[in-house]
Structure 1
């Protein structure tokens, strides 16, 4: 009788240990812990995209007026519109604006104005530069600049890894994770790797998004062509060497064995 009771106690303790071992602590899973640290921090955190080498720039110059003469005056400052090829390389009826490729020295060749150094400028600074130069030929021109190839890549333990085109040229690390469907439960939230290339030099940093102070990190706002990598946690790396369903099988088998022991000892 004593032996039977000891067996039941052992089984009960084993079940409790199994349940506790399967739980993941809040410290490893929850985002934005210790948010109270940010209270009273009213420092604005602005970010403006900077043009880099190999960026594709869509630049259009429009007149302030709408007369035929106004349109003719700005025409030399715009690249011609070309027919867009489809995926097979055949020319379609659709049209697209050509883009300026920023070369490895940070320059573009602009109609009439010639070579311009644009790397390191924000979009607004480039607009101001072009408006000043083109105003020598056209009264009050309207300039629009857009980065055509602003994209980021999210890899590793997320639901939908891949490269994402960003329309508004401004994205945070959290927004990038949201685009990729957020991390899986197997992703390390305390060791997010961000790889960045600036002026041909590759840099990287690790960000802990379980702590609220990462909001002040220079990697909170992503730049064009940044790569975000979510490292698998220890459990995921260990599971890669065997069937991931084995812990489930063990848990089910343990429950069945426990029930059998309890029934037979009644």
Structure 2
């Protein structure tokens, strides 16, 4: 093979390599055509997180006459803790006890007994407890918090892990933001969300480039959801990359150089 032919081969190979490495906007950009979704974005946002079995709740009942509300509160627990704070010895701290939602969706509430909470939102449970407690206490105030709202984000993201959520409203994009967003090797069109609902495992694949993702019930995440970002083709190929390929490429480069020298 003469030098011009080798040079032409290298040019063609370089062009093919550049073309194969190009990624179109459609493969990367999120929520394409978002302006066409219009008012559907607000209409489809559902912020009503439903309570489930194995949820942990704190419930605090207060009233103008606090003594009357006391029987409806669990005793505050003292947590052992030692240390120095501003020169003062700290020996312990107080912590609210939690209610565990059992497999049948119930909690055992002081005075009221068994209360079914599964399927209710936090606001609905507040109203339910307030109505029941009003039979014993005048003008009760009920504050409820879900304390074990966690989601796990795995796969091709920059910071995979399990994240505690303080707010009760979490969308898929926000969860991915907690994980540092997708890496350049993550598939944006095939993000898996797995969920356990009513003892059954459900899942759905979502396309982050499609604005209609907001129509999915999996767009708004629930407690203990798992998000998995699949690696794209380039990352899969790199995973199966032959460790000796670098050696082979080096040998091929030397042979090509020798061929150029011989033909000159």
User: Normalized against structure 2, the TM-score is what?
Assistant: 0.85
Matched, 1:231 2:230: yes
2:153·2:161 contact (CA, 8 Å) conserved in 1? yes
Counterpart of 1:74 in structure 2 is 69
SS in 1 for 2:142: strand
Structure 1 CA distance for aligned equivalents of residues 53 and 77 of structure 2 = 24
Alpha-carbon contact 1:11-1:258 (below 8 Å) kept: no
**4+ residue runs over 4 A deviation:** 243-247, 256-266
User: Partners in 2 of 1:221 and 1:96 — Cα distance?
Assistant: 30
CA-based RMSD of the aligned residues comes to 2.9
Q: What is the deviation of 1:42?
A: 6.5
Report the Cα distance in structure 2 between the residues aligned to 1:257 and 1:19, rounded to whole angstroms.
23
The answer (yes or no) to whether the contact 2:2–2:263 under 8 Å persists in 1 is: no
Match of 1:54 in 2: 54
Higher normalized strand content (fraction of residues)? 2
Question: Secondary structure in 2 aligned to 1:191?
Answer: strand
Match of 1:15 in 2: 14
Query: Structure 1-normalised TM-score?
Result: 0.85
1:7/1:163 CA distance change after superposition, 3 Å: same
1:193 alignment counterpart:
192
**Superposed displacement of residue 246, structure 1:** 5.7
1:147, 1:170 → 2: CA distance?
11
Size of the aligned set, in residue pairs, is 253
8 Å Cα contact 2:148-2:164 kept in structure 1: yes
Alpha-carbon contact 1:78-1:111 (below 8 Å) kept: yes
Residue 215 of structure 1 is matched in structure 2 by 214
The answer to whether the Cα contact below 8 Å between 1:190 and 1:208 also exists between their aligned partners in 2 is yes
Superposition deviation, residue 4 in structure 1: 3.7
5+ residue gaps, structure 1, are 87-91
- What is the alpha-carbon distance in structure 2 between the residues aligned to residue 58 and residue 7 of structure 1? 74
